[in-house]
Amino acid sequence: MDDLEKTIYKYALLNAAQHKGNANPKAVIGSIMSNEVELRREAKKIGPIANDIVAKINQMSLEEQKKEIAKLGIELENKKEEKKEGLADLPGTHENIIMRFAPNPSGPLHIGHARAAVPNGEYVKKYNGKLILRIEDTDPKRIYPPSYDMIQEDLKWLGLAIDEVYYQSDRFPIYYEYGEKLIELGAAYMCTCDGGEFKKLKDACQPCPCRNKSIDENMELWKEFPNMESGQAVLRVKTDIQHKNPAIRDWVAMRIEDTEHPRIGKKYRIYPMMNFSVAIDDYLMGMTHVLRGKDHLANSEKQKYLYQHLNWDIPEFIHYGRLKMEDIPLSTSKTLAGIEDGTYSGWDDSRLGTLRAIAKRGIQSKTIYDLILEIGVKMADSAISWKKIYGLNRNILEEKTNRYFFVSNAKKVKIANLNEEEIAIPEDIERPLHPDFLDRGNRNLTFDGEVYISEDDLSNGMTRLMDAVNIDIEEGEVKYISKSFEDARKKKMRIIQWVPANDNIKAKVIMDDASEIFGLCEADCKNLKKGDIVQFERFGFARLDEIANDELIFYFAHK
């Protein structure tokens, strides 16, 4: 063997080892071209030699191949690393873990909220910790009152066990206590500067005149604070006035707010800003780890100043990337506006990405939970699509859901020339509720020569009515051909669903774009209960949402 053949032999053995003893000549040549630059000029020569060598190696047993590899002293690299299931370990302590999910009550939860809720829930489960739900309602302008209950309902659907629930609107006295304490420490000051003037000074890395007020002066203004005009003063936390990020320089801790609060009315006029209330609560509630989006990096930096002023231990801050969602409306304010102007039917409109809209369509909570775990907690941005959601959900529903016939835009047809020697009229036809789980039983359809089929299926050609008969459709005329399935298979007939003309139920399916499809489903669907999910054969998965008089109303999940 010359040097060229030895090289090809080596690469062929490596390729065989990676593919259970079967080397691929094209892959071998590709590896040589990639790794042996000087041999690229020998490409024409290498091809035929590689084919011969690969053929010989593929005739060897695995044991013989291993011996040849050992002779050549080739070290095999295991390029396939085991994929870690679940989330990466938390940094820092793993004892007495306390984490929180802290939404604003501006509406029910959507899939973006699950991005934060699920990892928090999974981590406390992993470390036997505690999960706190903290409703951050310190901005009365952004509160949608029904969402106080809706949030907890959505978390229950998602499968998260909440240990404690807090409302920040109940904690104003605590925030006042720490506002006053910061003034006493000289770590905060009352600022009466015009907002525009303060920004100019801040952007120039210069302190405003209020920064040098004495503690007594600040305390006097603090006591007068509730009686001031709106916008007359704010409480600021001292940071580094030279900080490279202007947003972090002497940020606002408290301000005057005269909007009536849905829970506490006009009891208070001094409201904490998010960074102030969040930092205070995270410490007092014992947070060991704070999980938040990377858009909060600056907020984490702001809050560290508060921890340092109060000589508190800083929790582990963990930031994750943005979640980009294709074709999924998530803006709570835009959704609310759409509900109010009639664009959407409600928070569970099938076009929305709210958890309740997703649930209404029959998408399982496990689908969303597993999807978020798969994305993990990482700084890189991630993208998801309905296609991905549908794929995961289909894996769950395939086994769980029973099959039924649904005929959209139903058209009644009478089959001519029925051969009563081949088929008894009427004939009871049984189909399994699920082809892989026969123990679930059967559904029954009665065939008597008159059926409903979908308008879309009423096109010319030979057709088989599933489990019934073969027919020929020509310009709306329907004629009997035979009963034999073998006949249908040999002639490659299309197979369609049908429902008996004299035994069916009206059905409406609300699609994912909110359009409505009317049709008929088989009579055994009368046994379904609200919330049941079915697979309409050749149509898709759908969830029964309502039984109205003589009509079943379904929401379409996906195909």
Model pLDDT for residues 522-558, shown as the tens digit of each residue: 999 999 999 999 999 999 999 999 998 889 999 999 9
Please tell me the predicted confidence (pLDDT) of residue 199: 95
How many C-beta atoms lie closer than 10 Å to residue 440's C-beta?
A: 12
CA–CA distance from 546 to each of 210, 350, 512, 515, 535 (Å)?
63, 15, 17, 17, 17
Which residues make beta-bridge pairs with 414? 450
Residue 34 has pLDDT above 80, yes or no: no
Q: Mean pLDDT lowest for which of 3-12, 78-87, 186-195, 256-265?
A: 78-87
Please tell me the predicted confidence (pLDDT) of residue 400: 94
Backbone angles phi, psi at 229, to 5 degrees: -75, 150
Consecutive H or E run containing 432: strand 427-432
411 vs 15: CA distance, rounded Å = 59
Residue 401 has pLDDT above 90, yes or no: yes
Please tell me the predicted confidence (pLDDT) of residue 77: 54
Can you tell me which residue has the tokens 């941005």? 381
Please tell me the predicted confidence (pLDDT) of residue 72: 76
Between 445 and 325, where is the model more confident?
445
Between 11 and 108, where is the model more confident?
108
Backbone angles phi, psi at 376, to 5 degrees: 75, -175
Residue 288 has pLDDT above 90, yes or no: yes
171 vs 283: CA distance, rounded Å = 14
Amino acid identity, residue 260? E
Please tell me the predicted confidence (pLDDT) of residue 83: 47
Mean per-residue pLDDT for 296-319? 96
Check the CA dihedral 215-221-225-230 and report its sign: negative
3 state SS of 317: strand
Confidence of residue 80 (pLDDT cuts 50, 70, 90): very low
Contact between residue 314 and residue 302 where contact means Cβ atoms under 8 Å apart: no
Residue 161 has pLDDT above 80, yes or no: yes
178 vs 185: CA distance, rounded Å = 10
Confidence of residue 497 (pLDDT cuts 50, 70, 90): very high
Which residues make beta-bridge pairs with 289? 316
Q: Mean pLDDT lowest for which of 2-6, 8-12, 442-446?
A: 2-6
Amino acid identity, residue 361? R
362 vs 406: CA distance, rounded Å = 17
Please report how many Cα atoms fall inside a 13 Å half-sphere around the Cα of residue 183, on the Cβ side: 26
Give me the percent of the chain exceeding a pLDDT of 90.
77
- Per-residue pLDDT tens over the stretch 184-227: 999 999 999 999 999 999 999 999 999 999 999 999 999 999 99
Angle (CA) 19-22-25 rounded to 5° is 100
Confidence of residue 76 (pLDDT cuts 50, 70, 90): low
Mean per-residue pLDDT for 149-159? 98
Residue 475 has pLDDT above 90, yes or no: no
Consecutive H or E run containing 548: strand 540-548
As given in the structure block, the two tokens for residue 200 are 């100019």
Largest CA distance in the chain: 107
As given in the structure block, the two tokens for residue 435 are 């082809």
127 vs 44: CA distance, rounded Å = 60
Which residues make beta-bridge pairs with 292? 319
Please tell me the predicted confidence (pLDDT) of residue 86: 66
Amino acid identity, residue 80? K
Which residues make beta-bridge pairs with 430? 444
558 vs 285: CA distance, rounded Å = 42
Please tell me the predicted confidence (pLDDT) of residue 21: 84
Between 246 and 38, where is the model more confident?
246
Residue 397 has pLDDT above 80, yes or no: yes
CA–CA distance from 316 to each of 288, 289, 413 (Å)?
6, 5, 69
The strand ranges marked E within 263-390 are: 270-272, 289-293, 316-320, 323-325, 382-384
Please tell me the predicted confidence (pLDDT) of residue 79: 44
